[in-house]
Amino acid sequence: MDYIRYIEKTHEYYRGLGYDKTYNYACNTDIPFVPLKKPLSECRVALVTTSSFLLLDEGGLPLEEPRMLGTNEMEVFTAPSDWPADRILSTSEDHDRYQTDMNDVNAYFPITRMQEFLKEGVFGGLSRNYYRTLPNYSHRKTTEVDGPEILRQCREDNVDVALLTPV
């Protein structure tokens, strides 16, 4: 199957732009695994994404400041799981802008599809909140700060399953 080798491509691309440091992609060989312990129809499900977007008020104005790239501060933001898809505005700069746009939030943060699955009984429930964190150049921060914070909040909310949509 043909697909883009992003690691090779980005290394070449940034070297071509004159950057001498190439990004070190996460490489984990010790992969954690827990089998699903009950039927999905009894599970409480959360969404976790690295897509960047703003929640909008009813008049269509942003309720938060745009954020782009991670720092070393803890950066976990929530979005209520019943938030309407038409009140989300993408601020992503990490998509292939020649091929696609980010106008349909469900293509990267499937908030409407999750509500449909809930109504159809595919899931037992949805978490109170969904989670957003920023694409970050620090693996340490993702694994030691933001990741554990998302896990903590999921546990507090009795979440059984997390679906991840990295962008």
Partner 1 sequence: MTYTNARDIAASAGNPRQVFLNYPLGNPAGRPHDPENQRSVLRAGLKLLEDAERPGIIVDLPYTWSDSGEWMEKFMTDEQPFISEDAEVRRQDLLEKAREQKSGQLRK
Give the binding site for partner 1 (CB under 8 A).
Answer: 1-10, 12-13, 17, 25-36, 40, 51, 68-73, 92-104, 106-110, 112-113, 116-117, 122, 137-138, 161-167
Q: What is the C-alpha separation between 53 and 75, in angstroms, rounded?
A: 14
In terms of Cα–Cα distance, which of 80, 84, 82, 89 is closest to 54? Answer: 89
Residue closer to partner 1 (CB basis): 1 or 61: 1
State in angstroms the smallest separation of the CB of 152 from partner 1: 19
B/e letters for 20-54, b = 16+ CB within 10 Å, e = fewer, are eeeeeeeeeeeeeeeeeeeeeeebbbbbbbbbbbb
State in angstroms the smallest separation of the CB of 73 from partner 1: 8
Rounded to the nearest 5 degrees, what angle is found at the Cα of 87, between the Cα atoms of 83 and 92? 105
Q: What is the C-alpha separation between 132 and 105, in angstroms, rounded?
A: 13
Residues 119 and 92 sit within 8 Å (Cβ to Cβ): no
Residue closer to partner 1 (CB basis): 58 or 142: 142
Residue closer to partner 1 (CB basis): 21 or 58: 21
State in angstroms the smallest separation of the CB of 138 from partner 1: 7
State in angstroms the smallest separation of the CB of 40 from partner 1: 6
Beta-carbon count within 10 A of 142 CB = 20
Residue closer to partner 1 (CB basis): 49 or 129: 49
State in angstroms the smallest separation of the CB of 102 from partner 1: 6
Residue closer to partner 1 (CB basis): 2 or 58: 2
